């Protein structure tokens, strides 16, 4: 029997409905929630992601600010923008769109950010608080979106074996921390794999939940998945205008649930970004 789809849209709609109510409540108190995006260069995929974020902001009543840094700018120029936004009281949250061109240092720029406004949850302070299990600071959006998706569709995580393939700082690594925390929607036994592991399939076949987050198209195939497991494609690679998931379509023949190539983790990520933004605004004006 073909796998059921873990569609992201129903999850995102529920989150955004709550965000819209909270944004309106703040506006009634005289506070307009503001989110800024910092985009370095003009990578087509990144331009598209940023446009989606701004469109969703408009949908829920959040003021969006589009900050562009030219690819020919310097690291100092980028840091100056990060510092400027940190002191702008009309901006309650901001993000640096990842990745940045090779001659920029993403981590250094992130350290210039105000952690309280880091609504991507990627500042070292917020990642450290995540490791401590602190629930009052911003958490990374894509891991949050995956967790929300599992909860929405009733996929149990308490004591489940979760294997994450990919150890990147925006998804694989923070997701491994999030899902191992002793709290509802987590409390799993998590294994984090990477390209240096000799036999990835021998580990993924033992998992209840497989999360592909390596940015390697079609790397997770049906013979790497235990029948009935849940498979989530967190990595996406663009080849021209076509987006390729880390999860091969053959997985639908063995998995119980699987994310679609499009309309899965991406839409929940944006929803969680806006939820983080309204929460940052609530903390700022409380």
> Does the pLDDT value for residue 222 go beyond 70?
yes
- Interval 67-89: pLDDT, tens: 999 999 999 999 999 999 999 99
pLDDT of residue 179: 98
The yes-or-no answer to whether 30-114 and 141-267 have a common fold is yes
**Residue 97: active-site member:** yes
pLDDT, mean of residues 237-251: 84
Q: Look at residue 56 in the predicted model and tell me its pLDDT.
A: 97
Give the model confidence (pLDDT) of 110-151 as tens digits: 999 999 999 999 999 999 999 999 989 999 999 999 999 999
SS3 192: strand
Catalytic-labelled residue, pool 18, 43, 59, 97: 97
Residue 268 has pLDDT above 90, yes or no: yes
What average pLDDT does the chain have? Answer: 95
Instruction: State the catalytic residue, choosing from 4, 28, 42, 53.
Output: 53
Percent of the chain topping pLDDT 70: 100
* Domain 141-267 CATH superfamily: NAD(P)-binding Rossmann-like Domain (3.40.50.720)
Q: What is the pLDDT of residue 18?
A: 98
Active-site residue flag, 53? yes
Question: Any catalytic annotation for residue 52?
Answer: no
Q: Show me where the domains of the chain are located.
A: 30-114, 141-267
pLDDT at 21: 98
- Summarize the confidence of residues 178-192 as an average pLDDT: 97
pLDDT by residue (tens digit) across 1-60? 688 999 999 999 999 999 999 999 999 999 999 999 999 999 888 998 999 999 999 999
pLDDT at 1: 64
How high is the pLDDT of residue 240?
Answer: 73
73 burial via Cβ count (<10 Å: 0-12, 13-18, 19+): middle
Q: What CATH fold (topology level) applies to the domain 30-114?
A: Rossmann fold (3.40.50)
Give the pLDDT confidence score for residue 195 in this predicted structure.
83
Catalytic residue among 120, 208, 246, 248: 120
Whether omega for the bond prior to residue 232 falls within 30 degrees of 0, making it cis, is no
- C-alpha R_g of the chain: 19
Task: Say how far apart CA 238 and CA 34 lie, in whole Å.
Answer: 30
C-alpha pair distances (Å), 27 with each of 39, 90, 204: 27, 13, 47
């Amino acid at each position: 029997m073909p796998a059921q789809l873990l569609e992201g849209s129903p999850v995102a709609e529920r989150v955004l409905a709550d965000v819209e109510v909270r944004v309106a409540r703040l506006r009634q108190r005289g506070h307009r929630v503001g989110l800024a995006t910092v985009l370095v260069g003009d990578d087509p995929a990144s331009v598209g992601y940023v446009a989606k974020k701004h469109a969703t902001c408009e949908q829920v009543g959040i003021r969006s600010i589009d900050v562009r840094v030219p690819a020919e700018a310097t690291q100092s120029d980028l840091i100056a923008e990060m510092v400027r936004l940190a002191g702008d009281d009309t901006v309650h949250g901001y993000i640096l769109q990842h990745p940045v061109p090779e001659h920029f240092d993403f981590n250094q720029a992130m350290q210039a950010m105000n952690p309280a406004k880091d609504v991507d949850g990627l500042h070292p302070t917020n990642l450290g608080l995540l490791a401590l299990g602190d629930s009052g600071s911003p958490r990374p959006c894509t891991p949050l979106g995956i967790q929300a998706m599992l909860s929405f569709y009733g996929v149990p995580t308490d004591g489940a074996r979760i294997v994450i393939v990919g150890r990147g700082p925006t998804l694989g690594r923070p997701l491994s921390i999030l899902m191992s925390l002793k709290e509802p929607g987590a409390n799993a036994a998590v294994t984090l794999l990477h390209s240096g592991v000799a036999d990835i399939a021998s580990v993924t076949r033992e998992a209840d939940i497989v999360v592909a987050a390596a940015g390697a198209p079609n790397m997770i195939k049906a013979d790497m998945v235990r029948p009935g497991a849940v498979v989530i494609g967190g990595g996406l690679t663009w080849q021209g205008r076509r987006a390729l998931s880390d999860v091969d379509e053959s997985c639908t023949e063995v998995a119980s649930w699987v994310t679609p190539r499009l309309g899965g983790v991406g839409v929940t990520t944006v929803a969680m970004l806006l939820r983080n933004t309204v929460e940052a605004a609530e903390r700022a004006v409380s």
